[in-house]
Amino acid sequence: MVDLSTAYLGLKLKSPLVVSSSPLTESPETIQRLEEAGAAAVVLPSIFEEQLTLESDALDRDLNRGTESFAESLSYFPEYEDYRQGQDAYLSQIQRAKSACSIPVLASLNGVTARGWVRFAKEIEQAGADALELNTYSLATNASETSAIIEKELVQLVRQVKAATEIPVAVKLSPQYTSIPNLAMELDHAGADALVLFNRFYQPDFDLENLDVSPKLTLSRPEELLLRLHWVAILYGDVHADLAVTGGVHSGQDVLKSVMAGAQVAMTASSLLSRGISHLAAIQADLVRWMEEHEYESIRQMRGSLSRRAVPDPSAFERGNYIKTLSSFTLRQASSQA
């Protein structure tokens, strides 16, 4: 019997299989089904900063309006309930998720400013979340904002959230930073308990008939895993934070590769959205079969075995591999792929 147990964010997990933030983790009933299919933890869908700040902006406006005339202000207070609705709904979603399952439940906050996050992080902790994932999806569209400023703000944000809450904090990153190792080190110093690599970049499509741009979300493909493996393998051993893979995990082999690169857990969403929740049990069965066939006793034993530190030729992760990769491609291969 192989030992699949792992630790992530200081939590003991029965396996490295985590269901990432997505509509799959929205309802307690589905979370129960995910647990039965083998999920070791789930990340809830994100609550977005806009939901938090819009609500508090509107509240501030009304309260300020109220102070202009005290008698009137009293009548504004009941509306506080409305503004709190989105936040309260999220807190109750955490509570319902927690009572529906016995696996850890991670909440997820998406935002870019401390304003939206810090206050609510505490409430998330009080609602019973086992950990908090900060989904840092944002796009730099302002030319005067340098990459150094963006990264500094992100690091500060993490520091502030860490100071505001006692539950572990994971940071879900986009791959689009100039120096991922440097940012990872800064986040590590700021106290991030885990780095989740990587958010996918959603690009809108052009609608030629209506001359418009429209949002487009396609599910991931297994090829997307390679980018994650690459960076986890490079960071493994250099940061204290746990590493998690999200993006392109579709099979037991993908989980094995993630762990061998150095990840504590491998998260999946697209594979289950496209093939159904029962696919999670197939991923686990695949994982166990492979480990038994190759005489591995535990997940722990294989962690980091294909990281940059462990492989005999680390140039596979570095520039040296660039030339090798290009020259390894033959015209015969090209015609077979056409």
Ligand X SMILES: Cc1cc2nc3c(=O)[nH]c(=O)nc-3n(C[C@H](O)[C@H](O)[C@H](O)COP(=O)(O)O)c2cc1C
Angle of CA points 238, 117, 273, to nearest 5°: 75
User: Between residues 250 and 308, which has the closer beta carbon with respect to ligand X?
Assistant: 250
Minimum Å gap between C-beta 333 and ligand X is 26
DSSP-derived 3-state class of residue 136 = coil
25 lines the binding site for ligand X (CB under 6 A): no
Q: Are 217 and 239 in contact (CB under 8 A)?
A: no
45 lines the binding site for ligand X (CB under 6 A): yes
Minimum Å gap between C-beta 130 and ligand X is 16
Q: Which residues of 169-184 are buried (b: 16+ CB within 10 A; e: fewer)?
A: bbbbbbeebeebeebb
Cα(302)–Cα(261) distance, rounded to whole angstroms? 9
- The window from 5-13, 55-63, 78-86, 243-251 that contacts ligand X (CB under 6 A) reads 243-251
10, 23, 181, 204: residue in contact with ligand X (rule CB under 6 A): 23
Minimum Å gap between C-beta 174 and ligand X is 10
Residues 145-174 that bind ligand X (CB under 6 A): 172
20, 56, 251, 264: residue in contact with ligand X (rule CB under 6 A): 20
**215, 217, 191: which is closest to 121 by C-alpha?**
191
Angle of CA points 219, 318, 296, to nearest 5°: 65
Size of site (CB under 6 A) for ligand X:
24
User: Between residues 111 and 304, which has the closer beta carbon with respect to ligand X?
Assistant: 111
Helices (H), the chain: 28-37, 49-68, 70-76, 80-100, 114-126, 147-164, 180-189, 225-235, 252-261, 270-275, 279-293, 299-302, 320-328, 331-337
Q: Are 201 and 150 in contact (CB under 8 A)?
A: no
15, 21, 51, 165: residue in contact with ligand X (rule CB under 6 A): 21
251 lines the binding site for ligand X (CB under 6 A): no
Residues 193-232 that bind ligand X (CB under 6 A): 199-200, 217, 219-220
Q: Are 118 and 82 in contact (CB under 8 A)?
A: no
51, 108, 251, 307: residue in contact with ligand X (rule CB under 6 A): 108
Residues 302-321 that bind ligand X (CB under 6 A): none
270 lines the binding site for ligand X (CB under 6 A): yes
Minimum Å gap between C-beta 271 and ligand X is 6
16 lines the binding site for ligand X (CB under 6 A): no
13 lines the binding site for ligand X (CB under 6 A): no
Minimum Å gap between C-beta 178 and ligand X is 22
247 lines the binding site for ligand X (CB under 6 A): yes
DSSP-derived 3-state class of residue 240 = coil
Minimum Å gap between C-beta 309 and ligand X is 26
173, 269, 280, 299: residue in contact with ligand X (rule CB under 6 A): 269
Contacts 24+ apart (CB under 8 A), 93-99: 93/26, 93/44, 94/44, 94/124, 94/127, 94/128, 94/129, 95/127, 95/128, 96/28, 97/25, 97/28, 97/31, 97/42, 97/44, 98/128, 98/129, 99/28
51 lines the binding site for ligand X (CB under 6 A): no
Residue type, 282: A
- The window from 15-23, 77-85, 142-150, 318-326 that contacts ligand X (CB under 6 A) reads 15-23
Residue that is written with structure tokens 């493996």 in the block: 229
- Beta pairing, strands 41-48 & 265-268: unpaired
Minimum Å gap between C-beta 31 and ligand X is 15
User: Between residues 42 and 296, which has the closer beta carbon with respect to ligand X?
Assistant: 42
Residue 105, judged by CB atoms within 10 A of its CB (0-12, 13-18, 19+), counts as buried
Residues near ligand X (CB under 6 A) are: 20-23, 45-46, 108, 110, 135, 172, 199-200, 217, 219-220, 246-249, 268-271, 273
